A = this chain, B = another copy of it.
Amino acid sequence: MSTRERIIDSAMAIVRDQGVTKLTLDEAAKVAGISKGGVLYHFKSKDDLIRGMVQRLIEQCDQLNHEHYQRQPEGVYRWARTLVHACFDPNGPAFDPVGGALLAAVTVNPDLVAPIQAMYDRWMERIKSDSPDLERAGLICTAMDGVYFQRLMGINLSDAEGAERLKRHALDLLK
Contact = CB atoms under 8 A, between A and B. Distances in A.
A70 B69 CA distance: 45
Interface string A157-172: 1100010011011100
Nearest to A162: B138
A19 B110 contact: yes
Contact of A139 (B143, B153, B156): B143
B154 A142 contact: no
Secondary structure at the A interface, as helix, strand, loop or mixed, is: helix
B146 A166 contact: no
Interface residues of A, number: 44
A106 B103 contact: yes
A45 interface: no
A170 B139 contact: yes
Contact of A154 (B113, B145, B156): B113
Contact of A19 (B107, B141, B145): B107
29 contacts: A19-B106, A19-B109, A19-B110, A20-B107, A21-B108, A102-B153, A103-B106, A117-B155, A117-B156, A124-B158, A135-B165, A135-B166, A135-B168, A138-B157, A138-B166, A141-B146, A142-B146, A142-B150, A143-B143, A145-B145, A145-B146, A145-B149, A145-B150, A145-B157, A146-B146, A146-B148, A146-B149, A148-B149, A149-B149
